[in-house]
Amino acid sequence: MKRCIKRFIAGFSAIIMSVTTNSMVSALDNNSNMENHVEQFIVASKDTNSGEITYKNFDTKLTTNARNNKVNELSTPAYQGSISQEEEISPNNVIGNDDRYRITHTTDFPYRTICRIVTYWDKDNDGVIDNTMGIGTGFLEGPNAVVTAGHVIYDKNLNMWCEYAIITPAQDGAGSAPYGNTRSTIIHTSTAWIESGSADQDWGLIETQSDIGNQVGWLGKFWTSGSLDGTSVHVTGYPGDKPQTMWRGNGSITKSESARLFYNCDTMGAESGAPVLNSSNQALAIHANGGSYNSGTRITEWLFNFLEQFN
């Protein structure tokens, strides 16, 4: 596939402008004819220090410009950070028909960019943080930005944000934090997730206090308008049945939709937000749903461009 280097998209910097709550609009369908209008979506953000919630309109005019210039895919490379690269490990454990295997050398790249996320909530609105925490997975997108699923930070059933999140890259067991922990500062998701629970926009982004990505690196990402069926991928995260340890499932993409990808990698609960990675350590999707099938929110052109500002 043809790759477009970051130098191209730099010429199409995204326009971000504030809008009020009553002017919010739903995200337009990803297959809309963008030659006749500008696609937009609204990003809701919560400051986890002050509690302030704001809304911004992400204007994807660069999407229209790119398509007018016959661009149909964009990519960014993975960045390995300032730590010396170590050799990646091979599978060390297979359990019955479960094809997942544990990653023990979590400080190897790309695994050190994958984070365990613990979210804290006040679900009864009594002003006191609950005893029960939320667990999810995320991956570094830039120096201080972690991508995850929208439902990790915003509970659609309760229409409620988490109070804050603690992020631990490369955790390997209880108390393990080879690069320390970092706290959320601002968390983001789409109003399409908040308003309707749209699986097409079940994505989130957590800005963090520390620039941990400069040390451990971050993953690349890849967008294409074409089918990804048959592409070899793996999903690596922190499954709930293997507490506080990192596990990987290999597979391939079985179905490509405009805003979702389906795959046969083995996953479990709490891996929501894990990257769906190709062989170049580029995220193709954000794992979000399991069950009889596994699927993730696809890195579409507009999501690619939104995330790019944090790289």
Rounded (5°) CA angle 37-10-62: 5
Q: Per the residue annotation, which of 190, 272, 287, 295 is the catalytic one? A: 272
Q: Is 45 a catalytic residue?
A: no
What is the per-residue pLDDT for 107? Answer: 96
Element (H, E) at 133: none
| Active-site pick, 75, 151, 190, 256 | 151
* Residue 62 vs residue 215, higher pLDDT: 215
Q: How many CB atoms lie within 10 A of CB 88?
A: 11
Q: What does the pLDDT read at residue 106?
A: 97
CA distance 219 to 308: 12
Could you tell me if 301 and 66 are in contact, meaning their C-beta atoms sit under 8 angstroms apart? yes
Q: Which region among 4-8, 66-70, 166-170, 231-235 has the lowest average model confidence (pLDDT)?
A: 4-8
Q: Beta strand pairing status for 275-277 and 260-263? A: unpaired
| 266: phi then psi, degrees, rounded to nearest 5 | -75, 130
User: How do residues 234-244 score in pLDDT, each as one tens digit?
Assistant: 999 999 999 89
Go through the domains of the chain in sequence order and give each one's CATH number.
6-75 (no CATH), 78-186+202-311 (2.40.10.10)
What's the rounded mean pLDDT across residues 25-44? 49
User: Can you give the pTM of this predicted structure?
Assistant: 0.84
| Cα–Cα distance measured from residue 179 to residue 210, given in angstroms and rounded to the nearest whole number | 11
Tell me whether residue 272 is one of the annotated catalytic residues. Answer: yes
Element (H, E) at 193: helix 191-196
- Tens of pLDDT along 163-200? 999 999 999 999 999 999 999 999 999 999 999 998 89
Higher-confidence residue: 168 or 100? 168
